[in-house]
Structures are given as C-alpha cells and as structure tokens.
Chains A and B, each alone.
Chain A
Amino acid sequence: MIDYSKLSIFEIMDKIKTHECSAQEVVEFFIQKTKENEKLNAIVEIFDDVVEKAKEIDKKIQNNEKLGKLVGIPVAIKDNILYSTKKAGCASAFMQDFVSPYSATIVEKLLDEDAIIFGRTNMDEFAMGGSTEKSVYGVCHNAKNFEYVAGGSSGGSAVAVSAGLVPVAIGTDTGGSIRQPSSYNGVVGVKPTYGTVSRYGIVAFASSLDQASPITKTISECEYVLKILAGKDDHDQTTIQNDFASDKKDKYRLGICKEVVEKLKERAEFYNFENAIKKVSDKFEIVDVSIPHISSSLACYYIIAPAEASSNLARFDGVKYTKRAENCESLEDVYVKSRSEGFGKEVKRRIMLGNFVLSSGYYDAFYGKAKNVQKLIKKEFKTAFLNCDAIILPTTLSTAFKIGSKNSDPVEMYMEDLFTVPANIAGIPAVSVPYSLAENGLPLGMQFMADEMQESKMFEIAKIFKSQMEVE
C-alpha cells in the first residue's frame, strides 16, 4: 500500500487523476493514520461524510468532469472555522455543541476545488495560547516528541500535518498561531499579508490581526494552497486583492534585523541561526536592517488583541448558541454564570485585559497608544524593506517546551510570540520553514518576512534557503 503521508499533494492528485488510486483510498488511508495516532490528540473529529465526499470526487473523475485544484486532497480545519452543519467548538466548553449554520468563505473555496474537508483540529481555546494545552479536548502532543507541546494555538493543525494525518491543515494566525506550532513540529506555515484571506466564517479573535492560512510539509504546497484561499470577498470588507506579483532577481537581499540578533545572542539556538546564515551567504546578499521598535510589537499585541477579543467574544453570552448556565435567576445571572462557567482561565484573562484597556479613561493610554506604536512599527518595516527583499529571523526563541512547564507564568508564555507577533502588527506576510534541529532533537523554524503582498518573493527566498539547508 502506498504511504500517502510521504507524498506531496501534487503527487497525490496525479495518482488520483491518472486512476492510479481513488480519492476514497486516499481518504481512507488518512482516516486510518489519524486513528493510529489518536493519542496525539491533533484531530478532534473526522467528519462523518468524508468517505462519501471522496466517492463523489471519484465519480467526477470517472465522468471526466472538470476537476478542481485540490481534487481529493483531505484538508483538516482548525476548530474555529465554520463548516455548515458541522460542529465548530473553538476548543471551548462554552461552544462544544455549536453547529455551524453556514460555511466560511475559505471552506467554500476548498470545496469548490474538490478538496475533502477532513475534520477539525485541536487548538487553544478561542485561539488564545501558544501550546494547545488549553483545550476542552485535552492537551495536543508534539508530533516529534510526545512529552512536548504542539505549540499553538493551531497546534492540532501543525501536528496533524507533521505526523502525516492529513497533507494540509488550515490554521489561524493572530500573533504567530500558525508559524510557531509549524516551527515546533517541523512543518511549513505561513501568515499572509493582512486581508489576503477572507475571515468570514472564522470565529474572530482579534479582527485586525487574524489571518487563516495553510500548514503543509513543503513551501510549494503552502504557496499553492494559500493562493486558493486568497481573494477579495464580498463578505469581508477588510479583504484585499493580493495578486502575488513576483519580483524575480538573480540575487535577493536578505536582511538581518539587529534588534533580533540582540535578543538571540545569549541563547544556544543562536548557533543554529548563525550557521544557517553562513550556509546561504553566497546565495543571498546579506544586509543589516533595523526595526528599532520591533520588541514593542509584543506590548502592542497584548493590548490590541485582547481589546478586540473582549468585544468579539462578548457575543458568547449564554443567550443564543453558547451553553447557558443552569439555575439563572436573572438576566445578569445568565451572563455572569454562563461566561464564568463557559470560558477558560486564559480566555477570561484576555477578556479582562481587553475590557480594561478600552475602559473610559484608559483608552488613550493603552489602546490609542498601541495603535500609534503599531503605525510606527509598520513604518519601520516599510523602511527596512527599501533595503532588503526579506527579513530572516527565527520563528521562535527556542524549540517546543515540555507539556506543563510554562503554565505558571502567562507572561513567559506570551514571550514565545516575540518573533512572530511583529508580522501581525505590521500586517506583512511571514512564513516559517523548518531548517535545523536543536540540541534536544526538536525542530527549529526559520522565518521570512516580506513587505505587503510580496508573498511570491518571500516563498522564492524561502525555497532557496531551504534548498541550501538540505545540502550536505
């Protein structure tokens, strides 16, 4: 039997199209694979109609009908993405019984291309967290080492791809939630230019930062699926027309951000980073760039994201679709009891943080100021990209950590986002690519950031980099 988990989506589609195998065989392989790896807790539900859908695709192939660009490819979606008539629980006790009344735009797009929406992946509750430990479904385990965290919040999606449970999984990235778990599990994950992918039908965390995007094994697959998800959407005013214009050059300029190097110097992983740069030094022109306020991104993020989240999550109030607490004697009871019981600790922490920074008298000092610093950071990136085609930096400070090891101090957990958050704050694209193994044997990811709508160039640079890593 063919091990489809070792094949790229292009190879799988070739086999399906040339009748070498059926879509049904492919989907059944991945069902089997997922069941064998249940302990990872990456995929929380395989949708009950996947075999049915695969048979429909096979019929299409038999009838020589026009086929989509993802024909027969099983795609797992994060638990905060709506797929009509299927559950979408946001890994929250509050939303466990929620059945989507409509499908997200990206789900429609995947279905239009004959992909098979395979199931739901584990995540941190409401996408808040960096480890996928804070889930109503339980902890998700790292694909490379069971004792370690998956990363998050799209931990289930990254683990599912890394362990070969699906060839493609969709995650969402608000401050690094795709790139960080991709880095932790040795797979490729991208966060596109803000507005590239429609947010319609994706449960909002921080509206001005959220982007959904694919996680795959290779850069080419990631780029391919992203282009399918992208596009201006009549249901999302913040979407843009991203044409993925390419800007081919013989030698690209790669910027190293000196403020990042400062943060990294003292750490063991600096060796891996330096070594990687050395390996590509003749492929790129390496230049120093400066983003003076890059470190303030984190502070901005932890004001803007909770502020928007506090408002976005207010609709989960026990009145409509979320679970209502029992024995409520007043309307206030419904709100207070339901939300107290429904939300987990981290979600509550961020809602309170958000309410605080928006409250009257504090708005200017926090939210207003954060928005101003955000403008400044955007400008600094713009300036940096005048001098380079992409900025190279590690995705995370270190590898995945042991499950349970960072549960005592939320701020320590927040620090994990240090290198991923700037791309969200600046609205620019960034991709994480596995490049090295740390001393503990766990993968490290390298991140490439490019200017707005320069994804094609960013992927091209990442591919050149990746090919050099594989030499030896």
Chain B
Amino acid sequence: MSYLDSYEMVIGLEIHAELATRTKIFCSCKNEFGASPNSNTCPVCTGMPGALPITNKKVIELAIKAGLSFGCEISKYTVFERKNYFYPDLSKAYQISQLVKPLNIGGGVELDSGKFIRLNRIHVEEDAGKLTHLGKSQGTLIDYNRGGTPLIEMVTEPDFRSAEEVVEFLKKVREILMFEGIANCKMEQGGMRCDVNLSLRRKGDSNFGIRTEMKNLNSFRSVQRAIEYEAERQAEVLASGGDVVQETRKWDDFAGESFAMRSKEQAQDYRYFPDPDLLPILISDEEIEKVKSEMVEVPASRRKKYTEEFGIPKYDAELLTQTKYISDYFENCVSLLFVPKKISNWIMVDLFKIVKDQAQKEQNQEDIVFPISEKQLTNIIKMLEDRQINKNVGLELLQKVIETGKDANELAKEMNLLVTISEDTILNLLSKLKSENSKVVEDYKKDPEKISKFITGYVMKNTQGKANSLVVKNLIPKVFSKE
C-alpha cells in the first residue's frame, strides 16, 4: 500500500509557450531556435544601456487569439510590468511581464470527463537567455538568442486531482495552440514548458496543504513522473508526521527524482511596477473581432464532425487531427471528392507510410507534409471509384505522381493504366463462357450473386485485368439471364 492512498493531490499549473512570431517581442531580432549563440541579438535584447523596447504587434494578436481559444475575457487595457531580479540570463536584470493587468483573464478547458479546468489568466512576457555551465571553475557562457522570445504564461486554478488530468489538459492546450498557429509547442526545444504546483490533503479535507513547485518540465512524460514522484514524497513526509516545506524543486528526469532549489524564505521580492518604457496597450473590439475572424475550427469540433458526419472511427479522427496541416489536407480532399472514409484510409495508411519511409530520421509528427497535393490524391481516388483502375494501380500511380509531379489522370493515360477493354470484347468473353461451361449457367440460375464473382474473375483473367469490373458486373445479367 502506498502512503498516497489516504491523500488527495491538488495541482495547479503554470504553462509557458513560445509564440510563433517571426521576430522577438520587443525588437526586430529573429525568433528562431538553433541559431549560433548570440547571432540573433541587438542592443535591446542584450539589455544595452539606453536601449528601449518596442512592442511587437503580432505578439499581442497571437496572445489575444490564445485568450479567445480558451474562453478568456480579453482586457481592453493591459499593462506590461517589470519583474525585477538578478540572473545572468536576464540581460536587463528585469523581465518584462504582466502582473496586475494581464491581457487575458479567466477561461478554461474541459476534459473528456466533462470536468472543467479553470484558467486564472494568460499573460504575455519575454523569455530569458540560456546559460551553459562549463563545469567547475571554467565559467558560464551566456547565449541571448532566446532572450526576448515572446511567451504566453497560462496560469490555472488548483483544479487538478491527478497526473492524468494534468497530462490530458496539457495535450489539449498544446493541440489548440498549435492548431491556431499561436505556438509551435516544440517541447524538446523548450517551446512549451510547465511548472507544477502540488500539494496533498487528506481525502475529504477542504483546506489546501503546503505546496511545492517544480519548474520547467518539458515533456508529458516528465510531468507525469514528476507529479507521481512528488506526490509520493509529500505523502511520505506527511505520513511520518512531518511538514512539507514550501519550496521550489528541480525535477531531474534522468535520475527520476526531484531536489530542493530554494525555499520560501529565500523567495524574491520582484518589485513589480509598470514599465515606463512601454505605453499601456488599448485593445479595441475591432481588433478582437479581427483576430476572431482569423481563427480556425478547433480539433475537438473537427473530430466531432469527422465521426458524426463522415462516419469515421474515433481513433482515426484523432490521427487525422493531430496537426492542423493533416486535418486541413483531409478536409480539402473531402471537399474535392466526398468519400471521407476512403480518403481517410489513403491518408492514414498510404500517405503516412510514404512520409515515414521518406524521412526515417527524426521527423516530427508536427512537421509532416504530404508529398502530393489534395487534387492529385483525389484524382487517383476518383479513378478508383470509377473502377478505371484498381487499388494496386492506384498505389503505382501515387508513386509516379510523387516522383514526377505530373497530373494523375494524364499519367494514367500515358502509362496505359486505365481499363481499355470494350463492352463488345467483354460480351464476347461472357458468351464464350456461357457456351463452354454449362455448370456456370446452372449455378447462375441458383445464385447469380455468388457466381458473378467467378465470372468477373474469368473476364479479368482473360483481359489481363484491364476490364472495368463495374462494367463486367453490369453486363453479366445481359448474357446469363437470357434463355
């Protein structure tokens, strides 16, 4: 039995996501990951004396979009403030953030269980640079490329009661941020990271216990493990009569445990005050409407449409909505040719396989791009529907279109892949069979359906598969029903 059995977890999150802007939040340096150290910097993001911030309008737009996506109230008047603290990755020794007047207030996300997780706020702030410690007394290197990257911080209420709820919530949040083009959420690059505030209380208690905070968890797995570890640790402390210390803890994913970083006594006074270099931001209804008009249908609603209107299984609908690109691709195909199930199969079986084969390496699911246009894919499926080709030919065509980039219909003609056998030839073959094989005639009288398959096979065999099976099927009664 675990110590944990008599306790209930209470968890709140702070989630940071890097916004998908071209440039940084307060200067025109590029917002990109992986550039050589300090190459994307300027006097503003390195905190040079005299340098001043200028707000990137796109940041505010994307942050409003985030607010709208999660049902927040958008503030008409929002203020940037300075959060003052010393650390070498923070070039100005203050972070421009928001405290008293955040951009987005309230909102939340509904879990599959129907439980609603409330958001307290989503505010806008800048990221800090990155430190590389060279090891004992060899110094530390500072890279300010990430300094000034725009972030949103989503703060939840302490509504979670399990690690599973947390992970489900995070997945939903990530999916929406990515779908709306708000953030790329590349967790392995720190594009989305999560601070977990966790406390325990005896089951049935209504008061909160003393919480700890674990910072910068950057995968769903480490969130899950960190929560489980921390809950167990706190339960042990409490069960043995001790008190949980309010502190910040660092999760070591490799070791699978967390350790204390600093306690509440060492907590800093950030001396927030409105940044005098930046004017308050006034947001009009028109601006909010404009952002709203640029929003896309969210994945949950798309999945509902796929399962209920298109008759696609739930699991497939999940796969088709894993990125906005895939989902848009699918929907574009459906609008060209309304055979959703068939299209879904082609995408999930054939296209996924091709993409996988092409880029065996570390291809991210988020980066999947299909090598064939919606139009060409539906051209192939249409030929198949019309029985002008069979599935194997379809797959051959798919490869060819990808290789050559040519039109599928023209390729099919060029390569002589389309069925070309005339009705007369088929009728002759059917008549020949009828006269030569009386057993078939007898069987046809008993059960036409059953023997039709055999008859079609016979025609196909004698035409090297180039007869249109649909035509054959239609012609069979004409020959065999006659006395």
Contacts and interface: CB of A to CB of B under 8 A. Distances in A.
Given A315-B49, A317-B93, A234 B277 contact: no
A331 B272 CA distance: 23
B35 interface: no
Instruction: Output the residue of A88, A101, A310, A367 with the most chain B CB within 10 A.
Output: A101
A360 interface: yes
B52 A355 contact: no
A319 B88 contact: yes
A200 B271 contact: no
B137 to A, nearest CB: 10
B50 A311 contact: no
Interface string B47-70: 111111111000000000000000
B3 interface: no
Interface string A283-325: 0000000000000000000000001101100111101110000
B276 A237 contact: no
Nearest to B53: A237
Interface stretch (A59-67, A201-209, A244-252): A201-209
A238 interface: yes
A314 B50 contact: no
Contacts of A307: 273
Instruction: Output the residue of B49, B273, B278 with the most chain A CB within 10 A.
Output: B49
B52 A315 contact: no
Contacts of A206: 276
Instruction: Output the residue of B50, B52, B91, B142 with the most chain A CB within 10 A.
Output: B50
B92 interface: yes
B459 to A, nearest CB: 76
Given A314-B92, A335-B86, A207 B50 contact: no
A362 to B, nearest CB: 10
Interface string A223-246: 000000000001111100000000
B199 to A, nearest CB: 23
A308 B277 CA distance: 10
B96 to A, nearest CB: 11
Given A355-B271, A359-B271, A237 B48 contact: no
A200 B142 CA distance: 25
Given A101-B43, A314-B93, A203 B50 contact: yes
A315 B276 CA distance: 16
Nearest to A103: B50
A interface: dominant SS: loop
B84 interface: yes
A163 to B, nearest CB: 28
A236 B52 CA distance: 6
Contacts of B94: 311, 314
A237 B93 contact: no
Contacts of A235: 52, 54
Nearest to B84: A311
B88 A237 contact: no
Contacts of B55: 237
A199 B54 CA distance: 13
Nearest 10 CB-CB pairings of A with B: A314-B93, A207-B276, A208-B276, A358-B271, A201-B50, A203-B49, A315-B47, A315-B92, A319-B88, A360-B269
Given A234-B54, A358-B271, A314 B84 contact: yes
7 contacts: A95-B49, A202-B50, A238-B277, A314-B92, A358-B272, A358-B273, A359-B271
A47 interface: no
A202 B277 CA distance: 13
B53 A311 contact: no
A311 B82 contact: yes
Interface of B: 43, 46-55, 82, 84, 86, 88, 91-94, 142, 269, 271-273, 276-279
B84 A102 contact: no
A238 B279 contact: yes
A44 interface: no
A82 B91 contact: no
A237 B54 contact: yes
Interface string A394-422: 00000000000000000000000000000
Given A82-B49, A237-B279, A321-B49, A311 B91 contact: no
Given A102-B43, A308-B276, A358-B271, A315 B50 contact: no
Interface string A28-62: 00000000000000000000000000000000000
A367 B81 CA distance: 14
Contact of B273 (A238, A331, A363): A363
A367 B273 contact: yes
A348 to B, nearest CB: 16
Given A203-B49, A315-B49, A321-B49, A237 B271 contact: no
A190 interface: no
A104 interface: yes
B336 to A, nearest CB: 46
Contacts of A236: 52, 54, 277
